[in-house]
Structure 1
Amino acid sequence: MGMWIGILIVLFVLGSMMALKPSGIDQRLDKLRMTARRLQLNPKLIACPDWVRGKDGEYARGMMGQYGLVLEGIKLPHARYQAVDGQWRADHHQDVPADFTLDKAPIDLPPTIAPFAKGLLIKANSIVLYWEDIAYVRPASNPSYNTSAIEPDLIALKEQLQTWAMQMQR
């Protein structure tokens, strides 16, 4: 009887330890965010902003990845854009005067990132992309996911953010 109790305790401890291991999707997401951090894209997981369509297409619903790029020595106008049909559309309901330079500009991001882009915020010396970064690493939403594509995709994202910032500065 004592042996069975010992076996049950060992199985319980092993089961608890296995439950602590992150899932494959969590490991992929961690790799994505750590790579973004190394490239100075400052990733954060935030509650969906009230002006961005989040989960199920509803405003301010769910959690979202925020990847921001701080540009030293640059002054940008305030602007908010929502992703609509593959284009940036200016948010005309902003609290402050806004710049509409990127209105109707294509969302020119890697094809593995573009479908998940939700919003773009530009202010002071930073430009921020709101996107569903978890969809990037999920096999169901991104069947072409490849670990070796993370860095090139994020470098392309960073370059595009810099391009949009330069367009806004003119």
Structure 2
Amino acid sequence: MHAIQSRMKYLRNAETFCAVFLPLLFWNDWRRGDGPVAWDLRIAATALMSYILLQGALYWHLKLRGFTGHRTLPAWFTPLYQGFKYSNVIAMAAVLAWTVHRAATVTSADLWWAGCVLALVAAEQINYFHYQLMYDTRAAFAYLRRNGRLRQAALALDLKRSKAAASG
């Protein structure tokens, strides 16, 4: 039990830390560069990254709260996270469209930054709402070896369960 609580705290805290400090690290690197910076592209992609990482932090916070207090996820969990699931896709498409629109007028470094951050955002979207992409524990690796496929994401399973409970 303690290991599960520790894992949830770690995930919540790591997501929050990354959502706050990665943009600060990126900004520091960008401002020290020699050439011009397409701040709009880089900030849009980075803001989207923080947005999705904070969704993960909130999810793990709610899971931890439910685990320690023996409460279920709140009633607003399903509509909020269904909204996140679709707003993330819309936001990714918008940032990608803006990046393509600006491609001829920005440096390759700007495109590289925006593209890499968008790739991270897409991976997080998959990791939260579809399939678990992080396999960093023995149990996770054992599941992968035993089943030969990716595990469904914890958040995706909770969304399925809450929808099934609401409809049945």
Instruction: Verify same fold: TM over 0.5.
Output: no
Which TM-score applies when normalising by structure 1?
0.31
Higher strand share: 1
TM-score by length of 2: 0.31
The structure richer in helix per residue is 2
* Higher RCO (Cα < 8 Å, 6 or more apart): 2
